[in-house]
Amino acid sequence: MAENPEEEVIETELPPKKAGMILPILLAVLASGIGGAVGVALLGPPTGAWMAAKASEEGGKKKSAGHGGGHGGGGAETIYILDNLVVNPAGSEGTRYLLVSVALEPVDPAMTEDLASLDVALRHGLLSFLGAKTVQELADISARDALVEEMKVALEHEVGEGIIHRIYLPQYVIQ
């Protein structure tokens, strides 16, 4: 025993704290699940319908204010976008793919409607052109400008020479 009674240490067992944390964690998980279910059931359908209606109104065409220097028709539709093209590159045997969106700027903004009427032919031409390229050719960033120029030549075969002024690649993902 200790000589001084004040120096005695009394050891007591404390209840484990982990048992007290189970209930708050369980409640948080349950609340998240209920919130997600309510969100999907109540917010999902109206939001999806609204987004689909907005997309169908645009019809694949995007508005642009021109070239930044006051050119263009003050909000006239000047760019036609071919969204979400999925291509298996040559030699990949289906194990790799390219997801690309291509924006076409015609020489004359009035030609945007002509591009829209050729949507199927443009998509076919792009899929054929890009599908003939290998993964190495598509992944080489230093050759991207040359690829865009080749793409322009291939698309002019579908729409005629001198129609496409510029091509942009707003989405370009290789997996």
- Residues contacting 116, CB < 8 A, separation 6+: 59, 60, 61, 80
Whether residue 9 lies inside any domain: the answer is no
Q: Which three-class secondary structure state does DSSP give residue 71?
A: coil
Question: What is the DSSP annotation of 143-155?
Answer: GHHHHHHHHHHHH
- State mean pLDDT over 38-66: 58
Averaged pLDDT of the chain:
78
Query: What average pLDDT score do residues 80-107 get?
Result: 91
Please indicate, yes or no, if residue 163 is contained in any of the structural domains.
yes
Model confidence, pTM = 0.56
Question: Residue range 12-36: average pLDDT?
Answer: 74
pLDDT reported for residue 124:
92
| 46 and 70 housed in the same domain | no
Cβ atoms of residues 106 and 112 within 8 Å: yes
Judgement on whether residues 52 and 135 belong to the same structural domain of the protein = no
Considering only CA atoms, which of 167, 149, 157 is closest in space to residue 105? 167
pLDDT of residue 71: 38
Residue 120: predicted pLDDT = 92
75 and 144 share one domain: yes
What band does 50 get if pLDDT is binned at 50, 70 and 90? low
CB contact set of 166 (below 8 Å; sequence gap of 6+): 104, 105
When divided into structural domains, the chain yields a total of 2
| Cα dihedral: 129, 131, 134, 138 (round 10) | 70
CB atoms within 10 A of CB 130: 23
Cβ neighbours for 49, distance < 8 A, ≥ 6 positions apart: none
pLDDT at position 10 over 80:
no
Q: Give the domain range for residue 43.
A: 15-58
Last residue of a domain, one of 58, 89, 110: 58
Residue 43: pLDDT band with limits 50, 70, 90:
low
Q: Do 26 and 104 lie in a common domain? A: no
- Residue 7 domain flag: no
Q: Are 134 and 160 part of one and the same domain?
A: yes
Query: In the sheet where 98-106 sits, what is the strand order?
Result: 61-62, 79-87, 98-106, 164-174
Residue 54 domain flag: yes
Q: How many helices (H) and strands (E) does the chain have?
A: 6, 4
